[in-house]
Structure 1
Amino acid sequence: LSSSSSSSSSPLVSSSLPLTVPSTPQTTTAKRFLNLPQNFVPYPSSSRPPVFKKLDVSQINEQKERQQQVKAELKDHVPLSTLFPGAPDPKDATSFEVPPPQFSTLQNGVTVATQEIYGGTFNVEVMFKVGVLNETKKGMIAVLQHLAFQSCSEDPSCVKFLTEAGANIFANGLPEVFSFSGEGLRHHLPQVMSYIRDAITKPSFSNETLEYFKDIVLSDSEMMTQDPSSWINQAAQKAGFPGSSLANRYQLNQRPDFTAEELAEFFNENFHAGNMSISAAGVEHGEFLELANQMFGDMKSRPPLPVVPQKYVGNKMLKVPLPEGQSTTVCVGFEGPSLFGNIHAVCVLSSLMGGGHSFSAGGPGKGMYSRLVQDVLNHYHFVKTCLCEAEIFRETGMFSLHAVSDAPSSALVLLELLVLELESILKNVSETEVSRAKNRLAGMYLTNLNSRASIVNDINLQVLLHGEYFPIEYHLDKISAVTKEDIQNLVVSLLQSPPTVVAAGPAEELKVVPEIDKVVAFFNRILEENTKKE
C-alpha cells in the first residue's frame, strides 16, 4: 500500500513495497482504505518480529551434526521401498477386475444395488421417486432438504458420532427424485444407515422448526435473485410449461406456505417402499443386502399417485424486471428430448455448444474450444457469461441457451447472438468439432464416475427413472455413435418447437426485447432457409 497521502485518484498499490511495517501511523491512505483507526500500530517496535535471524557458524555445524546422527540412527530401519516380512506382494490397480454392479430385491420390492470399489470408505444413498414435480405446495422439497436429518441434529449422540467418526449425512431434492445419503469409513456403515432409516421412518415436523426453515428457504431464494444465471432456466420452464408442475421450480422471493400437517401428509404419501431404491459403493453385496433388509425390509408400499403430465406449450415471452445496476440476462429455450428420447445426441450438442464465463479459474476440460466460447465470449467483450444447458425429465426436456451482459441496451444483441449460434450449427459443423464434443462428454462422464457419490447416484437414477440399469459401455457406445447429421437433425427438431424467451434485467433494458411473435418469425425464417431442398 502506498505510504503517501495523495488524492483518491492515486493508486493504492505501490510498485516498491517496504519490507517492514512502519511503527508509526504514517500510512494514511492505507488506513482510509482499510478503515483502520488513526492510532492503529500493527506491531509495537519492541515486539515487531524480525525479518531474518542470522545463524552463526557454530549453530550451522550443530545442525549438520544432528542430521548425520539421525541418518546413522535410521540405518537399521526398513526403508519404504522394502516390503515388510509377511506382507502380500503389491498389485497394480490395473490388474484388478472392476466388478460390475450387483442387484437384489427385498421382499417389499425395494431394489438394492452395490458397486465394489477398492478402498476403505463407502457411500450409500436411499433415493425416492419424488421431487419438485410432485409437490402439492410450492417449496416442500426445499424445506425437506433442511428438515431431513433434524432428528439427528437434536440427538447429542448422533452429532457426537458424526463429529468423531468424520462421517457425513445429507439430503438432496431434485425435480423428480429426493435422496438421503451418507459416507464414511466402512466399519461406520451400520451406524450411518441407522440415521438414514430414522430420518425416513421417524421424520420430525414441528411447527416451530418448520417456520424457521421456511425463512431459510426464503432467504436462499432472495440470494438467488442476485444471480439470474442460477434461476433463468427455471423461469424458462415456468413460461414454457404453463400449468404444469415444472413451473413450481421457479420460486423466486416466495416463502413456502403450508402447515406441518400438510408436509407430513405429503411425506407419508410419497416416501414409501414402492418409490424407493438403495445403492452403495465400497461395500460387500451380501453384507449390505442383509443390512438393508434389516433397516428397510419392513417398509410398506402405497398405491402410486397419478402423474401430472408435463406438456410443453412455449410461444411465450417472460420479462423479469430487476433493480437498476444488475446485469441483463437473456434465455432462449425449446422442448428437448425426454429421458426415453435421443438423450445422447442432445448431450453431445450441449458439449459442442459448451460455453462458460468471461473469467473462470481452473484447469483444462472446460470446453475452451466449444462454439459459445469461440464465437461469443472470445469475440464480444461485453458478454460475461454464455452457456448451453440440456435438462432431461421422464416425460419431456428443455434445451436452452442463455447469455449475460452488463453493457447498456444489450438484451436484443444477446438474443440475436443466441439465435445465430443455433443457426450456425445448421449451416456448418465439422467432424472435428463433433469428435471433440463426444470425447469431452465421454471424459466428463467417466471422470464423474470416479466419485463414489456419483456411482450410487447414477445407479439409483437409472433404476428409479429408467426402470433398468445400463452399464458404462452402453452409454460410451451411444455417445460414440452420434454423427454430425444427428446433431443437425436434432437442432431442426428443436427449432420446430415453439420457442420460449426469458429476459431479466433493469426495466429500461427490457424495452428493447421484441415480442414473441417476431422471435417466432425469425426462427421460422431460419428453418426455411436451412432446410429447403437443393
Structure 2
Amino acid sequence: MTPRTRTTARASSEARAVARTQTLIKGESGIGTVRRTTLPGGLRVVTESLPSVRSATFGIWVQVGSRDETPALNGATHYLEHLLFKGTGRRSALDISSAIDAVGGEMNAFTAKEYTCYYARVLDTDLPLAIDVVCDMLTGSLIEAADVDAERGVILEEIAMTEDDPGDCVHDLFAQTMFGDSPLGRPVLGTVETINDLDRDRIARFYKKHYDPTRLVVAAAGNIDHATVVRQVRRAFDRAGALSRTDAVPVAPRAGSRSVRAAGRVELLNRRTEQAHVVLGMPGLSRTDERRWALGVLNTALGGGMSSRLFQEVREKRGLAYSVYSYTSGFADCGLFGVYAGCRPGQVHDVLRICRDELDRAAAEGISDDEIARAIGQLSGSTVLGLEDTGSLMNRIGKSELCWGVQMSVDNMLERIAAVTPDDVRAVARDVLGQRPSLSVIGPLKDKQAARLDAAVA
C-alpha cells in the first residue's frame, strides 16, 4: 500500500467514524438539539446546544458504581473518584485544580450505586480546556501508592462526616434494610474497615477493568458546537491511546436481576441524637418501568411539596416534624419508595402511625383527581425549572445515554407526565403502597419505644 493509499484509507476510516453522528432531538434554530457521535473504541459523545448562554458544562459518565463492587472492594468506586483528581502523566493535582480555578470554572465528581460522573462547568470559550483536563484525568490517572495512602484519610473523614449526619445516614441504613448484604445494600462510601484494607494494586485493577471507552459517555451542554466537541474529545483520547480498539462497541444500558424482598424488616441504630430519623418504605419501580411516570405523580401528591398529604398531616396540622417527604429511587432492575421524617424521639410512633395510615389510605382509596392534577402541574413545572442551567442539561443527556440508551426531549417528558391518568396513579398506588413496608430508624429510642417499632410494619 502506497503512502497516499494509506492516507486515503485512514481519512476514509475517520470519515466513517464521523458519519456515525445522529441527531437525536431536533431543536428549533439549533436550540435544544441533541446529537450523538460514536467514535472508534466505542466512546459515545452526546451534546445539547444552547446558543443563548455563555457557559458550557462538560462531563464524562462511567457505567460503574458501588453495586459493581465485591464485599472486599466496597468503597473502591468512590475511592477511585477521589484518586483521579490526584494527578496524571501531564498534570499534578495542583495543575488539575488550578487550571479550572484560573478561568473561574468549577469541577467536581459524584459516585452513585450504578454510575460515576466527572464534570467541569466553564465559560464557553474555556470549554477546550475543560475537555482536555477532564479527559486527561479519565485516561491518564497515575494512581500512585502515596496518593492512595494520603487520600485514605480524606475518605475516612468523609465517612465520619456522613455518620455524624443521621438525616443522611438513615438512607444508607434503609438501603441496607431493603437489600441486605448485597451490592445495592452497601454504602457507596464503603466502611472504615474496607477503606483501610484497600491498596493501590486493587484500585488500579478496578480502574483498568471499568474505565474502558465502551463504558463511558461523554456529555456536553451549553453554547457549544457538536463537531468541535467531538474533535477535541477524540484528540484527547487518542493522545492517551484509548481509542485503539476500532471494532469495539458501546456496552448496553445496565441490566440486572436483583429483587427487593424485605417486607416487615425493622432496623434500629440507637444513637444519642436530638431527633429520631425514620424511613418507612417498600420496593418501588425500576427506572425502565413504564409506570414510573404515574409513580412520580403519586410521590409528588403524597410527599413532594408543602401541599402534599404527608406535609399537611404531619407538619402543618400536628406540628410533629420539621422535615417530612417521600421519594423514589429507580435502579436498572428494581427500585425503592420511601417516606422520611425527622422528629423528637417521643413523637416517633405518632409520626410513623400517620405516615403508615396515609400510605394505606392511598393504596386502598387512591388519590383524588384534584390532588393528581395539582401533582402533575407541580411535577411538570419542577421538571422544566430543574433544567434551566447547562449542568442540569449535561446531567440529563449523559445519564439518559448511559442508563436508557435513548434521549427524550423536555416536551416529550412533559407529555408523558400530562398523559398520566387518575386510574394510572391509583393502580400504581395499589401495586407499590399495598406492599408490607420496612422501617429504618436512627435515634435515642428507649427499650419500650424500640419494642413498639414492629407495629409500624405489621
TM-score range, shorter chain: 0.7 to 0.9
Give the corresponding residue for 1:120: 54
Give the corresponding residue for 2:5: none
CA distances 1:500-533 after superposition (whole Å, capped 9, x unpaired):
21122114167445364x5554xxxxxxxxxxxx
Q: Does 1:279 align with 2:219?
A: yes
Distance 1:380 1:210 in 2: 50
Change (3 A) 1:125 1:159: closer
> Per-residue deviation at 1:266?
0.7
Q: Does 1:332 align with 2:284?
A: no
Q: Higher mean Cα deviation, 317-326 or 383-392?
A: 317-326
The letter for the 2-side match of 1:143 is Y
Q: Does 1:171 align with 2:129?
A: no
Three-state SS of the structure 1 residue aligned to 2:323 is strand
Change (3 A) 1:276 1:251: closer
Change (3 A) 1:510 1:318: farther
> Per-residue deviation at 1:179?
1.2
Distance 1:498 1:129 in 2: 32
Three-state SS of the structure 2 residue aligned to 1:150 is coil
Task: Decide whether the 8 Å contact of 1:121 with 1:184 is kept in 2.
Answer: yes
CA distances 1:92-139 after superposition (whole Å, capped 9, x unpaired):
xx9966242112211222221111112222111111111111123111
Distance 2:441 2:96 in 1: 47
Q: TM-score, normalised by structure 2?
A: 0.83
Name which of 278, 303, 315 aligns with 1:354.
303
Change (3 A) 1:328 1:339: same
The letter for the 2-side match of 1:418 is C
Q: Does 1:315 align with 2:315?
A: no
Task: Decide whether the 8 Å contact of 1:316 with 1:501 is kept in 2.
Answer: yes
> Per-residue deviation at 1:394?
0.9
> Per-residue deviation at 1:280?
0.8
Q: Does 1:482 align with 2:420?
A: yes
Distance 2:283 2:98 in 1: 49
> Per-residue deviation at 1:184?
1.3
Three-state SS of the structure 1 residue aligned to 2:192 is coil
Matches within 5 A, 1:195-210: 195-210=133-148
Change (3 A) 1:213 1:308: farther
CA distances 1:413-459 after superposition (whole Å, capped 9, x unpaired):
22211101112324363222111111111111111111101111111
Task: Decide whether the 8 Å contact of 2:313 with 2:354 is kept in 1.
Answer: no
Distance 1:302 1:279 in 2: 18
Task: Decide whether the 8 Å contact of 2:366 with 2:429 is kept in 1.
Answer: no
The letter for the 2-side match of 1:352 is A
Distance 2:137 2:418 in 1: 42
The letter for the 1-side match of 2:66 is V
Give the corresponding residue for 1:391: 329
More helix by share: 2
Name which of 427, 448, 453 aligns with 2:365.
427
Matches within 5 A, 1:113-152: 113-117=46-50, 118-136=52-70, 137-151=73-87
Give the corresponding residue for 2:205: 265
Give the corresponding residue for 1:45: none
Three-state SS of the structure 2 residue aligned to 1:249 is coil
CA distances 1:266-291 after superposition (whole Å, capped 9, x unpaired):
11111111111111112111111211
The letter for the 2-side match of 1:487 is V
Q: Higher mean Cα deviation, 202-211 or 306-315?
A: 306-315
The letter for the 2-side match of 1:350 is N
Q: Does 1:290 align with 2:231?
A: yes
Give the corresponding residue for 2:128: 190
CA distances 1:52-105 after superposition (whole Å, capped 9, x unpaired):
xxxxxxxxxxxxxxxxxxxxxxxxxxxxxxxxxxxxxxxxxx996624211221
Distance 2:129 2:63 in 1: 25
Distance 2:148 2:389 in 1: 33
Change (3 A) 1:294 1:447: same
The letter for the 1-side match of 2:65 is G
CA distances 1:356-414 after superposition (whole Å, capped 9, x unpaired):
xxxxxxxxxxx221112211111222323211010011111000112111142x33222
Give the corresponding residue for 1:411: 348
Distance 2:398 2:61 in 1: 7
* Count of aligned positions: 415
CA distances 1:145-173 after superposition (whole Å, capped 9, x unpaired):
32221117735554443232112322211
Change (3 A) 1:429 1:495: closer
Task: Decide whether the 8 Å contact of 2:107 with 2:121 is kept in 1.
Answer: yes
Distance 1:400 1:448 in 2: 22
Task: Decide whether the 8 Å contact of 2:327 with 2:338 is kept in 1.
Answer: yes
Task: Decide whether the 8 Å contact of 2:268 with 2:440 is kept in 1.
Answer: yes
Distance 2:433 2:256 in 1: 26
Name which of 133, 155, 165 aligns with 1:217.
155
Task: Decide whether the 8 Å contact of 2:87 with 2:93 is kept in 1.
Answer: yes
- Segments of structure 2 that go 5 or more residues without pairing to the other structure are 1-26
Distance 1:161 1:461 in 2: 26
Give the corresponding residue for 2:184: 246
CA RMSD after TM alignment: 2.6
Name which of 454, 461, 464 aligns with 2:392.
454
Distance 1:430 1:443 in 2: 20
Three-state SS of the structure 1 residue aligned to 2:159 is helix
Give the corresponding residue for 2:429: 491
Distance 1:242 1:189 in 2: 43
Change (3 A) 1:421 1:155: closer
Distance 1:151 1:246 in 2: 30
Task: Decide whether the 8 Å contact of 1:172 with 1:179 is kept in 2.
Answer: yes
> Per-residue deviation at 1:260?
1.0
The letter for the 2-side match of 1:268 is K
Distance 2:217 2:190 in 1: 31
Distance 1:158 1:242 in 2: 39
Q: Percent identity?
A: 20
Change (3 A) 1:332 1:138: same
Query: Greater CA radius of gyration, 1 or 2?
Result: 1
Three-state SS of the structure 2 residue aligned to 1:468 is coil
- Segments of structure 1 that go 5 or more residues without pairing to the other structure are 1-93, 356-366, 522-534
Change (3 A) 1:112 1:428: closer
